[in-house]
Amino acid sequence: MTLHGDQGSTEIRLRRFEMADYGAVDALWRRAGLWMRPSDGAEQVALKLTRDPDLFLVAVAGARVVGARVVGVAMGGWDGRRAYVYHLAVDPQWQRRGVAGRLMDELEERFRAKGALKAKLQIVTGNDASLAFFAARGYSLESVCQPWGKELQPGGAPDDAEAR
């Protein structure tokens, strides 16, 4: 995929996340304003890769294989019954240029290939840009259920007030 912008044309490639990408991805998550939790640390991300590494994608800018810049990331999961979108983030300088759509198209195709009938996600209250993006893709609020959680290890789930 080639994106055109103020700086000319740039080749965007999607590939599987590798742990060597962690520093760039963590920095991107923070630049994009994602609500980071202890489960987003390097140790937990490495554990996630033991389950379904093919559902953790990065979008890289530039034709070079080595040294290409990570400009987007999508982390998905599959539990054998449902597909989940855990994180979707695009570097603020690359937003509204088709990167998020491309990542989601690929992630959803990989979900389908695994046999998923439905994909689910959670959006932090007040994130209107994500609400609009996912609504435009056909996602909808499931008002018949409420997300609940339980901290299984100390420090594993910060107070939800921290997200606001």
Burial 72-111 (b: 16+ CB within 10 A, else e): bbbbbbbeeeebbbebbbbbeebbebbbbbbbbebbbebb
Please give the full DSSP string across 38-53, using - where no structure is assigned.
GGGSHHHHHHHHTT-G
Average pLDDT, the chain: 88
* CATH (domain of 148): 3.40.630.30
**pLDDT tens-digit profile of 55-110?**
999 999 986 655 579 999 999 999 999 999 999 999 999 999 999 999 999 999 99
The amino acid occupying position 96 is R
The pTM of the full predicted model, rounded to 2 decimals, is 0.87
Q: What is the total count of domains within the chain?
A: 1
Domain ranges, residue 113: 2-163
